[in-house]
Amino acid sequence: MPPEAEQSDFTPTWQFLNPVPRGPVPKAPEESAQPEIELTIDGRETSVPEGTTLLHAARGLGIDTPTLCYLESLTPVNVCRVCVVELEGSRTLVPACSRKVEPGMQVRTDSPRVRLSRRMVLEFLASSVDVSTAPELQAYMDEYEAEPERYGPPGPAASDSVRDNAVPGHHDSPVLDAAETVEQPVKIDNELYIRDYSKCILCYKCVEACGEDAQNTFAIAVAGRGFDARISTEFAVPLPDSACVYCGNCIGVCPTGALMFRSEFDMRAAGTWDEAAQSETDTICSYCGVGCSLSLHIQDNEIVKVMSPLESEVTKGNLCIKGRFGWQFMQQPKKEADEAQEDAQASE
């Protein structure tokens, strides 16, 4: 091989550092002006860009709309129906979270029909699901004067795996003096988080976060049908046997506390969970170079759970197992510390 050829193949690294001849600076294409759509919400005229949802159009006017299954970072599934609004010309109410604005729409967000449906949805949920760790839902219940006790006291809890094995198209006759619920034993099958499906309102958020909207892991999906519909792994196998990668993004989006850090669950069981005594510290995860924002929830100078802000440009609320759960090294678990102290005292 002639030496020239050998030389020409070689480009010293430093050459890349030399200024490259410049052409015109590329410009981002100008944003094509979105056509504005005019519509009326609660008697007030407004104009919003095409593609806006009724939810956002209403928010623009300062009108609050309750939502449960909606989250900015997820594809709207419009299943909870608590955001329904009245649309003139529509036979049924429409979900504000996913219905796009159309010219000339006449929308009412606080009509008696709207209030009744919202109230009923909240009653349906609160009479069938344990909403004790869902403060947002409880606030809506106050606002809409929901009375879940109208349907009778809660019925008996299902024993282990009964709901997991429900057969589509068949159900037992209802108990006469009580309202059926989804109460069932808590699923504790790993050290990092628990699944308490007695608290599940089936908002599909965890399924979306586990699937195409964030993690693409597909460890959980909705199984079964009707009132027996449930979030499940295949054949309801425990999480360690499933595709779960313990990113905890499902916990991050769960609105009712059905998915909960093991640390929070244990502290609640022990009666030591005290949100009033907790502080949040924002920091950056130090495990890798991505730079995920972490919100450390601290109680008694110990990390009790880790979230990531939904608004974070980097994470959009999502983390991986390391950021979410890899903080134990920061602190000696209290029990061990106590034992160590006891040991020290004993040896003295």
Partner 1 sequence: MDLHLTSDTPNAAEQLAVDSVLDAPESGFISDAHFISGEAYAPAAGHAARANRHLLLPVLHAIQERIGWISPGALNYACQRLTVPPTEAYGVATFYALFSVQPKPPVVAHVCDDIACMANGAETLCAEMAERFGAPGSAEQDSNLTWHHSPCLGMCERPPAAMVTAAGVTPSTTALAPVGIDEIAQTLADRGHTNKASEASTSVRSVPQAGSEELRLLRRVDRIDPDDLASYCGAGGYRALERALDMGPAQVVREVVASKLLGRGGAAFPAGVKWQAVASAETQPRYMICNADESEPGTFKDRVVMEEDPFAVVEAMTIAGAATGCGKGYIYLRGEYPLALERMTNAIAQARGAGLLGSSVLGHEVPFDIEIRRGAGAYICGEETALFNSIEGFRGEPRNKPPFPTEVGLFGKPTLVNNVETLINVLDIALEGGDAFAAIGTEQSTGTKLFCLSGHVARPGVYEVPFGTTLEELISLAGGVAGNGRLQAVLLGGAAGTFLTPQELALPLTFEATRTVGATLGSGVVMLFDDSVNMQNVLLRIAAFFRDESCGQCVPCRVGTVRQEELLHRLVADKTIGSVANEIHLLNEVGQAMRDASICGLGQTASSAIESAVARMELFNGKSH
Residues within the interface to partner 1 (CB under 8 A): 78-82, 84, 92-93, 95, 98-100, 113, 116-117, 120-121, 124-125, 127-128, 150-152, 165, 167-171, 173-174, 176-177, 179-180, 201-202, 211, 216, 218-229, 232-235, 237, 241-243
Least CB distance to partner 1 at residue 208 (A): 13
Residue 238 is encoded by which pair of tokens?
A: 């425990």
- CB neighbours of residue 291 within 10 Å: 12
Least CB distance to partner 1 at residue 190 (A): 15
Q: At what angle do helices 112-128 and 135-143 cross, to 10 degrees?
A: 140
DSSP H helical ranges for the chain: 3-9, 54-60, 112-128, 135-143, 205-210, 249-253, 262-270, 321-325, 334-347
Instruction: Order across the sheet with 36-41: list the strands.
Output: 44-49, 36-41, 106-108, 84-87, 94-95
Q: Which of 172, 187, 127 is nearest to 154 (CA)?
A: 127
Least CB distance to partner 1 at residue 104 (A): 15
**C-beta closer to partner 1: residue 117 or 308:** 117
**C-beta closer to partner 1: residue 184 or 299:** 184
**C-beta closer to partner 1: residue 57 or 294:** 57
Q: Do residues 266 and 304 lie in contact, with contact meaning Cβ atoms separated by under 8 Å?
A: no
**C-beta closer to partner 1: residue 87 or 267:** 87
**C-beta closer to partner 1: residue 125 or 292:** 125
Q: How many CA atoms lie within 13 A of 338 on its CB side?
A: 3
Least CB distance to partner 1 at residue 293 (A): 27
Least CB distance to partner 1 at residue 322 (A): 19
Least CB distance to partner 1 at residue 160 (A): 15
Least CB distance to partner 1 at residue 153 (A): 9
Q: CA 323 to CA 269: how far, in whole Å?
A: 25
Sign of the alpha-carbon torsion through 106, 108, 109, 113: negative
**C-beta closer to partner 1: residue 186 or 237:** 237
**C-beta closer to partner 1: residue 98 or 138:** 98
**C-beta closer to partner 1: residue 175 or 314:** 175
Secondary structure string (H, E, C) spanning 260-320: EEHHHHHHHHHCCCCHHHEEEEEEECCCCCCCCEEEEEEECCEEEEEECCCCCCCCCCCCC
Q: CA 178 to CA 144: how far, in whole Å?
A: 23
Least CB distance to partner 1 at residue 119 (A): 8
Q: CA 316 to CA 121: how far, in whole Å?
A: 29
